[in-house]
Structure 1
């Protein structure tokens, strides 16, 4: 497992740290205005998805490995709704260090 503070990309590090802390303000701060996401290949409303899959059910990311300069992760993700599952995450980070899109799904 890779500790969040050891992740290579500082923006992805801030995202994982915000998720694990349940910090909605920090989560929103790391995203661009109009950021988008997909789950298992289907685009979702990011705000609704984050509330349902992260914040209302204690979402937590245990990063197993990273690639693509830290912008692609394999994570053991768990929450109170679904339990634990192995997931893949890929992040698009803008030049100003914010996430404009992320994609997640079963790994």
Structure 2
């Protein structure tokens, strides 16, 4: 008997989700939380998001954008874009290996 996805726990990396969100354009934290839930189905708590933002900023993968508003928007940096591209290529290799090994073909139903 197979386990349902929800029972397996979370398989997402918050940093990757943030980079994917910011690849579309600059966003403040609340908008990132909404966007990430929309495209991935992952509901992040603010503390989880802001911890990831701090780590990504320390790595130089994102940076704050000057804004007159109270909310602080961020954008992905060129090195963040490079890190995202590399991580997506790794995920693609993992997905392809998993599909080969399990016989799962995406898009077929």
Tell me the TM-score normalized by structure 1. 0.27
Question: Larger helix proportion, structure 1 or 2?
Answer: 2
Tell me the TM-score normalized by structure 2. 0.27
Larger RCO (alpha carbons 8 Å, 6+ apart): 1
Higher-Rg structure is: 2
